[in-house]
Structure 1
Amino acid sequence: MTDPQIAVMMLGIFIMTIFLGFPICFTLMAMGVAFGYYAYYDPERMQTIFDNRIFDLFVNQTYSVMANDVLTAIPLFLFMGYIVERANIVDRLFNTLYLTARNLPGAMAVAALATCAMFATATGIIGAVVTLMGMLAFPAMLKAKYDTSFASGVICAGGCLGILIPPSIMLIVYAAASNVSIVKLYAGALIPGFLLAGLYMVYVIGRAWLNPSLAPKATDEEVGTYSGLQVAWMLLTSFFPLAILILSVLGAILFGLATPSEAASIGALGGLVLAVAYRSLTWERLRQSVYLTVRTSAMVCWLFVGSWTFSSVFSYLGGEHLVSEFVIGLQLSPIMFLILAQLIIFLLGWPLEWSEIIIIFVPIFLPLLPHFGVDPLFFGILVALNLQTSFLTPPMAMAAYYLKGVAPPQVTLVQIFKGVMPFLSMIVLSMVLLYLFPALALGLPEFFYG
């Protein structure tokens, strides 16, 4: 077998081990070292079994990942999210937004989507948003006699917005993998992120208006009577503190006042201040937040170590060149290449989570972007939109399983899947709009940074 054929076999074995359920980061490292031992084998240099350059490569990749300035923002943003999650802000926020939107069709669903968008922006942790909103807003909607599938779709789709809306952890990982400026990625993701959230709300209001039985309007007795001053005070004490924290972090990044890591530090400190202000900061909650931050950060960093070792060996053996030659040989137009790439990422979203897709498979497409004249920033925003589907598409829709884990026993996975499907069409529509109007993603970066 030739070296490129061995590289393809290496990729095939890796995909097979994923389906068998092996831990991905350790599988990547093991296969990178094993195939790298063959790739870098030099009988003239070998004095002992460890005299192979793959071990030097592995150590260097580990050091490079741990010293990467872009990745230092991840634990800080994660810590901010976990602290905010435990600060008892979300329940106040949901109730306040519901009272504010109570005259709209499907008011509770609209409030749930708005809460999900804000909470997802503050955390970027999909499981945390879906689980918490599944315990808070989902029972409230069922109690208000909302259709089970309709309510399920709202929670699952809204909880996934943190993949796209800054400060997204996914965009930080993509920036590290592609060498695209994280500041420009954040600017490019703002309009598509809020466009998708807006499409969700338009769909919810439209469905509730056309079919009121899906989301019955609450009576004044059920909601309670509140004056405008009372609602304004509730907004002032629940909505604005979190909004100011998020805008401060994003504004510091987008206007060049701070690097992403420095802004993340501000966000982490702001999360602690909010937790103290709401009298919800305890030693146990702080300990849990630190533990979850360290665990998630370690997972991302070791995925990078394994991925970069694996991809270095894959490229050294000629696998990357073979894939490039194959795709270029198809003589695709730029739009057909984008559709093919997004279709592959969509299918990968069934068995894999976004982190594995971004770190392992997206780098295969990145060397092809210059040939097709595709901006890596634009490609990254498309991928971020597409990866919403990895949490929502049956049978491996993790958002649905998160919700099922906290939903009442009578709620079935089939009902949750049924409710998610219309929101998938909103994602496809947003991707089509982005294809047709690239300025939605590229306009703000060009305006701010040229």
Structure 2
Amino acid sequence: MSDAGLGLTQLLLFLFFIMLGFPIAFTLMAMGLFFGYLGMQERVFDLLVQRTYAVMSNDVLISVPLFVFMGYIIERANILDRLFRALQMASRNLPGSLAVATLVTCALFATATGIVGAVVTLMGLLAFPAMLRAGYDPRLAAGVTCAGGCLGILIPPSIMLILYGATAGVSVVQLYAAAFIPGVTLALLYVIYAVGVGIFQPHRAPRLPPDAVVAPLGQVLFALLTSFFPLAFLIAAVLGSILMGLATPSEAAAMGSLGSVVLAIAYRAFTFQKLKESVFLTARTSAMVCWLFVGSYIFSSVFGYLGGQSVVEEFVKSLPLNSFTFLLLAQVIIFILGWPLEWTEIIVIFVPIFLPLLDDFGVSPIFFGIMIALNLQTSFLSPPVAMAAFYLKGVAPPHVRLEDIFRGCMPFIYIVVFCMALVYVFPALVTWLPENLYGSATPVPGAPTLLDAPPAGGFTEQEEINLPPLN
């Protein structure tokens, strides 16, 4: 078998083992080492050491554990219940008020945590039963909870955007600026849909009875001052310092971690046990991310060395594609991959296959990254994987079927596709903010990637192993 054939076999076998349920990080390393040994012999073990060192010493990933820690602390600060109650009182006169309160709470909490599973689970315990008690259609309630919880993939500070920036070698700061307007737009589209259901299908989202949420204006304002504004201020401080260039993402994440601890203390919800749990969960998540990158770069390097990347590139270039049709094809492929695979697998394995083709079709990697972040909303909502649906099913009442949750998510998948179409038609939704803040929406020259860190011996990978670059 030729080297290119080995590369394609490597990719197909990886998909096969992932479908069987093998852990992705160690499957990537095992497949990379096995096929690398066939094509490179003992040099593949040098590659393993160098890639591990490059990932563990790269500054791009420092913000990941800090943002994760910030999210876990806020999750345990009992702020979600306060926030939902305050927004419920504030939106009580709107059609579909509970759905609106749920979406706004999800957006804020997803922004603070960036952890989809945590947001969907907590809102499934708090908002989902409240909507069912109020007579909401279970499918609408399920769709609102799942879709709102997935916004953390897109709205900064998104862990996914950090990983994409490290993979593509683009500025995480510019990615955050580019994602802000599309993220807010998608959240507003969700809210408009919920209000529209409340107006045109009131039987699915009935208005609350007049005595359900009775509170004078002063009490509503006090509830917002003690729940909504502290969290909003923390988020604004973290994102504002990043977007305005006052702090790097890592520095802002450190500030946000400290702010989350202060917030937990202010709410009298900070204990040593909660701190211990947050640190443990942060370590586990960060280790998963780091080993995922180690495995993905071993896999991708071997795949490129064997010629699999060249085969894919030549095939795509042979197609009669322009910039629009290339973007459409790439997003359709990622959308389909989102059915059986999770977003981490798509980012670390399949996105690097598209990255070398962006220059050929004149596509900005920042614009491409935001489209992927939008597209990956669907990977959490569309079966058969649909992790958000499974998170909700785990805490939903027994009479709520998984089929109902899937059906409830479908309108929100259509909304995501509509939002992607808006971004295609009006690319300024992505480019306007970074262009006005930084003068461009293109990669920063010399932006660090995981390939930039030298190995311990001081030699670059190209000098010691002579592998072709991934980008």
Task: State the TM-score, normalizing by the size of structure 2.
Answer: 0.92
Q: How far apart, in 2, do the equivalents of 1:112 and 1:361 lie?
A: 33
Q: How far apart, in 2, do the equivalents of 1:245 and 1:410 lie?
A: 38
Show the 5 A alignment for 1:78-117: 78-117=68-107
Displacement of 1:403 in angstroms is 0.4
Displacement of 1:308 in angstroms is 0.2
Displacement of 1:201 in angstroms is 0.4
User: Which digits, 9 at most, give the CA deviation of each residue in 1:183-215, with x for residues without a partner?
Assistant: 000000000000000000001101110011111
What are structure 1's unaligned runs of at least 5 residues? 42-51
Q: How far apart, in 1, do the equivalents of 2:180 and 2:163 lie?
A: 17
Q: 2:309 aligns with which of 320, 325, 342?
A: 320
| Corresponding residue of 2:178 | 188
| Corresponding residue of 2:206 | 216
**2:399 aligns to what SS in structure 1?**
coil
**1:220 aligns to what SS in structure 2?**
coil
| Corresponding residue of 1:368 | 357
Answer yes or no: is the 8 Å Cα contact 2:156–2:176 preserved in 1: yes
**2:212 aligns to what SS in structure 1?**
helix
| Corresponding residue of 2:394 | 405
Letter in 2 for 1:278: Y
Q: How far apart, in 2, do the equivalents of 1:351 and 1:61 lie?
A: 28
Letter in 2 for 1:75: P
Q: 1:122 aligns with which of 81, 97, 112?
A: 112
| Corresponding residue of 2:20 | 20
Is 1:435 aligned with 2:424? yes
Show the 5 A alignment for 1:8-407: 8-41=8-41, 52-224=42-214, 226-407=215-396
Of the structure 1 ranges 30-39 and 97-106, higher mean CA displacement relative to structure 2 is found in 30-39
| Corresponding residue of 1:45 | none
Q: How far apart, in 2, do the equivalents of 1:35 and 1:398 lie?
A: 31
Letter in 1 for 2:141: A
Displacement of 1:380 in angstroms is 0.1
Answer yes or no: is the 8 Å Cα contact 2:26–2:295 preserved in 1: yes
Answer yes or no: is the 8 Å Cα contact 2:367–2:431 preserved in 1: yes
**1:223 aligns to what SS in structure 2?**
coil
**1:280 aligns to what SS in structure 2?**
coil
**1:213 aligns to what SS in structure 2?**
coil
Displacement of 1:220 in angstroms is 2.4
**2:203 aligns to what SS in structure 1?**
helix
User: Which digits, 9 at most, give the CA deviation of each residue in 1:311-358, with x for residues without a partner?
Assistant: 001111111111100000012111111111111111111121111111
Q: How far apart, in 1, do the equivalents of 2:320 and 2:210 lie?
A: 63
Cα RMSD after superposing both structures: 0.7
Aligned residue pairs, count = 439
What are structure 2's unaligned runs of at least 5 residues? 440-471
| Corresponding residue of 2:446 | none
Displacement of 1:395 in angstroms is 2.0
Displacement of 1:39 in angstroms is 1.5
Q: How far apart, in 2, do the equivalents of 1:351 and 1:414 lie?
A: 17
Task: State the TM-score, normalizing by the size of structure 1.
Answer: 0.97
Q: How far apart, in 2, do the equivalents of 1:294 and 1:432 lie?
A: 38
Letter in 1 for 2:410: M
**1:212 aligns to what SS in structure 2?**
coil
Answer yes or no: is the 8 Å Cα contact 2:151–2:377 preserved in 1: yes
Q: How far apart, in 1, do the equivalents of 2:340 and 2:291 lie?
A: 20
Of the structure 1 ranges 349-358 and 199-208, higher mean CA displacement relative to structure 2 is found in 349-358
Answer yes or no: is the 8 Å Cα contact 2:342–2:385 preserved in 1: no
Q: How far apart, in 1, do the equivalents of 2:184 and 2:240 lie?
A: 16
Q: How far apart, in 2, do the equivalents of 1:20 and 1:216 lie?
A: 44
Letter in 2 for 1:29: M
User: Which digits, 9 at most, give the CA deviation of each residue in 1:108-130, with x for residues without a partner?
Assistant: 10000000000000000000000
Displacement of 1:216 in angstroms is 1.1
Q: How far apart, in 1, do the equivalents of 2:135 and 2:320 lie?
A: 54
Letter in 1 for 2:60: V
Is 1:2 aligned with 2:18? no
Q: How far apart, in 2, do the equivalents of 1:153 and 1:10 lie?
A: 37
User: Which digits, 9 at most, give the CA deviation of each residue in 1:351-382, with x for residues without a partner?
Assistant: 21111111111000000000000000000000
Q: Percent identity?
A: 64
Displacement of 1:257 in angstroms is 0.6
**1:102 aligns to what SS in structure 2?**
coil
Q: How far apart, in 2, do the equivalents of 1:399 and 1:20 lie?
A: 20
Q: How far apart, in 2, do the equivalents of 1:106 and 1:395 lie?
A: 29
User: Which digits, 9 at most, give the CA deviation of each residue in 1:27-80, with x for residues without a partner?
Assistant: 110111111112213xxxxxxxxxx11111100100100111111100000000
User: Which digits, 9 at most, give the CA deviation of each residue in 1:290-317, with x for residues without a partner?
Assistant: 1111111111110100000010011111
Q: How far apart, in 2, do the equivalents of 1:216 and 1:430 lie?
A: 27
Q: How far apart, in 1, do the equivalents of 2:191 and 2:407 lie?
A: 18
**1:16 aligns to what SS in structure 2?**
helix
